[in-house]
Amino acid sequence: MWGTSKIILDTVPGADGESEVPKEATNTVGLALQAVADNSTESIIAESAYLIFTDSSLAHLQTLQDCGLKVQILTNSLAANNHTTAFVGYRKQRKEQIAAMSELYEYRPDATTQTSMYQELTPGQTVPHFGLHAKTSVYDRQTVFIGSFNLDPRSENLNTEIDFLVESEALANAVADSNVGDMGPGNAWQVHLNDNGDTERVTIQDGEETIEPDSEPLSSGGRKLEADLARPFTPEAQM
């Protein structure tokens, strides 16, 4: 798949005693993502292991949707997430995220495609729980971002990130199709608000679409308790 690509990376902040690096330089990747999103006219299809927006980023997402962009994002469910604090930050604004995008999905730890692949490669072995680690986004099925940038405040304000920006319709379609597959039945739950304003998940059971009754499906009681207890002690800026 041929196309035009470039590396985008944040400037490493100076050590103590050195002059401060301008914020624009330490968030080069985030600003590049925003610029590509602003120039998109049809769709954004993204996967992010951690999904927490700053107030400005959430407002920007709402603006994109209001302009007619179809925004689909997949992130980890509690059962698939390897960082409870990251999930806590996501859960705090999950309802706002649902309102600000077209479709929100949570990855299942028993994702069908991953389970079948694992069983084929390691027959007889116990199948582990799976989690999403990808950080990819596709714009108008023309432009692809692949790299280390999660859609969260740590990537935007704290971490030094690096991403590839690729202009290739062939690669964009391949990555988009892969992302949409990960969002599909058996691999993820679609999360939306019911008539009472509560979150609920659509899942597939025996080939039929049903509403998942569990608030955080496939998560143990201990993991749910851990998330509840962590809520007051999780710094917003470091999620």
Beta bridge partners of 164: 7, 146
Model confidence pLDDT, tens digit, residues 213-232: 888 999 999 999 999 998 88
Contact 46, 74 (CB under 8 A): yes
Which of 1.20.1530.20, 1.10.274.10, 3.30.870.10, 3.30.2130.10 would CATH assign to domain 4-238? 3.30.870.10
Distant-in-sequence, close-in-space partners of 84: CB < 8 Å, separation ≥ 6? 78, 223, 226, 227, 230
Distant-in-sequence, close-in-space partners of 73: CB < 8 Å, separation ≥ 6? 44, 46, 47, 48, 51, 97, 101, 103, 104, 105, 151
* 13 vs 92, higher pLDDT: 92
CA torsion sign for 35, 136, 71, 94 is: negative
Collapsing DSSP states into helix, strand and coil, what is residue 59?
helix
The CA distance from 210 to 203, in Å, is 5
Model confidence pLDDT, tens digit, residues 30-80: 999 999 999 999 999 999 999 999 999 999 999 999 999 999 999 999 999
So what's the pLDDT on residue 68?
95
How many C-beta atoms lie closer than 10 Å to residue 26's C-beta? 20
- Helices (H) and strands (E) counted in the chain, each on its own, are 9, 10
Burial degree of 101 (CB within 10 A; 0-12, 13-18, 19+)? buried
How many C-beta atoms lie closer than 10 Å to residue 168's C-beta? 17
Which run of H or E residues covers position 177? helix 169-182
Distant-in-sequence, close-in-space partners of 5: CB < 8 Å, separation ≥ 6? 164, 165, 166, 167, 168
Residue located via tokens 């301008």: 22
Question: Which pTM value belongs to this model?
Answer: 0.91
